[in-house]
Amino acid sequence: MKLYDCQMAPNPRRARIFLHEKNIDVEKVEHDIMGGETTQETFLNFNAWGTLPVLELDNGVTIRETPCIYRYIEDIQPQPNLLGTSPEETAEIGSWERFAELQGLAAIGDVFRNQMEQMSGRGVTGSAKIDQVPALIDRGRVRAKWFFEQIDKRLADSEYLGSNRYTAADITAQCAIDFGNAVGVPVPESFANIGRWLKAVSARPSATA
């Protein structure tokens, strides 16, 4: 398998950490999102959506969308389990994993995409030409604060985000939070439960992936 990757971007990192936790080593093909490589015809002929990561199987089939890569890898190599061991646990992990992406990473991504000159015309993930909307910078910060409040409350009651053990929900949340730190949307220190949890997930060998 090959992972079409971008070292600095949070979604490819979700896939890299997931693969690392599964002890699966794949070839990585670096792409420069900031430099515009994923908006070029060559890349769009490969993936018309313009998104990374993409997992290419040995038979040439490609898998887009990080949660679909999570599910594929879990299906072909169930251990260690990262997506749930029962229908109920799978639902609980899945809902927090989505929450981390759609309320956390998406909010922080809005701040990033709408404030960076290099992201001009790329206001949304994907290959559509979308103007930046400056109002989304502040809106992203408001949303991120609400996200931090919600997960801090959750982490007061639960050692990890999706379950009582490290799962894909934690992977997505740690990628969101580390990306927030990198682009000027840090977690306020008052959220002590997030601080405790972030220290634990960051100490895992997979965090360097």
Q: Which residues bind its own copies (CB under 8 A)?
A: 48-49, 57, 61, 63-65, 67-69, 71-72, 75-76, 87-88, 90-92, 94-95, 98-99, 103, 123-124, 126-131, 133, 135-136, 139, 142-143, 146, 150, 153
Name the minimum Å distance from CB 169 to its own copies.
11
Output 34 or 57, the one with its CB closest to its own copies: 57
d(CA 209, CA 202): 11
Output 8 or 57, the one with its CB closest to its own copies: 57
Output 40 or 208, the one with its CB closest to its own copies: 40
Q: In what order do the strands lie in the sheet with 27-30?
A: 27-30, 2-5, 54-56, 62-64
Both tokens of residue 28?
């990585």
Output 66 or 206, the one with its CB closest to its own copies: 66
Phi-psi region of 126 (alpha: psi -120 to 50; beta: other; left: phi over 0): left
Name the minimum Å distance from CB 6 to its own copies.
18
Sign, CA dihedral 136-100-207-201, equals positive
